[in-house]
Structures are given as structure tokens and as C-alpha cells.
Amino acid sequence: MDYPYYPGCTLKTTGKKDEEAALEVAKLLGFELKELPTWTCCGVVYNLTSDVMADHLSATRTLIRAQEMGRELKTNKLVTLCSMCYNVLKQVNLMYKNNPDKLKNINLFLDTEEDYLGDIEIMHFLEVLYNDIGPEKIKEKVKTSLKNLKVDPYYGCMLLRPKTIAFDDQDSPHIMGDILSALGATVIENPMTVECCGAHQIITNKGAVLDCVERIVSISQKKGADVIVTPCPLCQYNLTTAQKTLFEKGKINRKTPVIYLSELMKISLTESGQDYLKDYNFIKDKLDERGGL
């Protein structure tokens, strides 16, 4: 089955590695992510006010694009790779489900577009992997087991909060851990896994991000993680850049690499996984110490 896929802005720039790897992983697992032919920004953050509708326009346009493509592919699903896109699109969609009047208003306003009917189902790539494919099937496809790798799955906020949009347990999520176990990796339990990385405060209040990342990373390191894995491009950026500063300040004594889940999956699921490892020296070195993959 093929899924309509919405990339969002960051997956085309700083999150490019995530997109490249995810598209390949999807093919290896027997489905395709088909990018919407035209798309705009999703709005990035869901407007929490009760009286501003204009902020929901960009997300609504994306939902309409998904509706158009869904007719071709005979599905009502829309897959995102970015956590924030997932959060916004799902919250806007839910808002329309609960307030048909608001949907009617927005459809009247968007009079050059077809009406949005309100039945698109937003899914994150992780959900597709876990619910539609399943860890068992992923396990069968593993070419290179990550048996000696200690991985810390980090979820961040946007996949699990608010509760109405969460697809896993809000306080102790397990989906990413289950997938990583299927790849053969040792999964570390980090109590900070659902804590915020500081998000957009990286622009206006970098100190807040440093505090958040220090807490997350120091526990991860105490537990011996070789690598932190995240599905979110902003978490990946914040965790990576803040660690540089923390390291320079002497607040942490080593830097833990932060990569996307899709990248690790690509290493594990492809015949040439070992070749990809060349780009990930930090993993290769760790594994060589322990006798290879």
C-alpha cells in the first residue's frame, strides 16, 4: 500500500537525512511514501487561541491536498515524518471533527479550493511502522543486526502531547523501543524521553534549551547510550548543537551523537548497511570495540 506523504519545510533542509533514509526504508518494507505534488507550510505550531481561525488555513490547505491525492491512491491517510507537522495537522483535523461549524466557515473562506470533508487520518511514520507493518515483520527484514549498539530512543513533546493526538503511552512510550529491539539494538530506558528539548526557545532563549538538553543527555550518558535516536528534526538539531556548547562549558564530558530513527533503520535493513556505517564513524568505532555488528 502506498501512502500520501507530507514532508514539511525542515525535511527538505536540515532534516534531509531523515527524509532520504525514511523513503528508502519504506521501499525496503514494501510500501512507498508518495510526496504530495504541491504543498505549503503546515503552520508549525497549533494556534491555541479559541478565536483565531486564520492560523489554521495552511494546515487546512495541506489536508485538502491530501484529500485530492487520497482519491488517486484510494486511502484517507496522510503520513508525516516531522513531529511538529504531525502535531499541527492532527490537532487542526481534530478541531474540525469536534467543531463542524468551524470546518464549514473555513470551507466558505477557502472558496477557490475544494471543500475539506474532514476525514483525513494523520499518521506519523512511526505509527505506520508499528501499526501497519509491525516489529515482527521489520525483524524478518533485518540484514545487519545492531546487536551491540546501546540506543536511547528520545520522543520529545510533539508526538505524545496533548493526549488527544498521542499514539503511544504519554509517560512511558514503547513504540520506538520496540522497533529498535526488532533491529537487534539494546534499548536504554531514559526517564527524560518525553521531556521537552526547549523547541523554538533556541532562537530567543538558548539558556533554556541548554538546561533541557543537559538534563536529557546526562541521564542518557549515565545509562551508557552510544547514540540518541529521535524522529523530530528540531529535537535532533537542539540536542546536537546544545551538546556542543555544554561540552565546551565542561557541563558534559562527552557528546552523544543524535540521529534519526530512519537512519538507523537504513543501516540495519539494507544489504549495504556496513557501507552506510562509514558515514557514521561514531557507531562503527563503538561496535568495533565490542566485536562488530
Partner 1 sequence: MVFTVSEKGLELRKTVEEISGENIFKCYQCGKCSATCPVVDSMDMAPNKVIRLVQTGDVEVLNQNTFWVCAACFTCSARCPRSVDIAKIMEGLRNVKLRNKQDFINIYSKEFIEKLIEEIPQMAIVSAIKKGVW
Q: Which stretch binds partner 1 (CB under 8 A): 157-165, 172-180, 257-265, 282-290?
A: 157-165
Radius of gyration of the chain (CA): 19
CB within 8 Å of 133: residues ≥ 6 apart: 29, 31
277 binds partner 1 (CB under 8 A): no
Q: Which residue has cell 499541527? A: 88
Binds partner 1 (CB under 8 A): choice among 7, 198, 231, 273: 198
d(CA 11, CA 198): 19
Please answer whether residues 209 and 239 qualify as being in contact, where contact means their C-beta atoms are separated by less than 8 angstroms. Answer: no
Q: How far is CA 149 from the centre of its chain?
A: 21
Binders of partner 1: how many residues, by CB under 8 A? 41
d(CA 98, CA 85): 20
Give min distance, CB of 71 to partner 1, in A. Answer: 29
Give min distance, CB of 236 to partner 1, in A. Answer: 9
50 binds partner 1 (CB under 8 A): yes
Give min distance, CB of 20 to partner 1, in A. Answer: 16
157 binds partner 1 (CB under 8 A): yes
d(CA 75, CA 52): 31
Site for partner 1 in 158-187 (CB under 8 A): 161-163, 170
Instruction: From 182, 163, 183, 186, select the one nearest 173 (Cα to Cα).
Output: 163
Give min distance, CB of 41 to partner 1, in A. Answer: 7
Q: Binding residues for partner 1, per CB under 8 A?
A: 8-10, 13-15, 41, 43-45, 47-51, 55, 82, 84, 157, 161-163, 170, 195-196, 198-205, 207-208, 211-212, 215, 233-234, 237
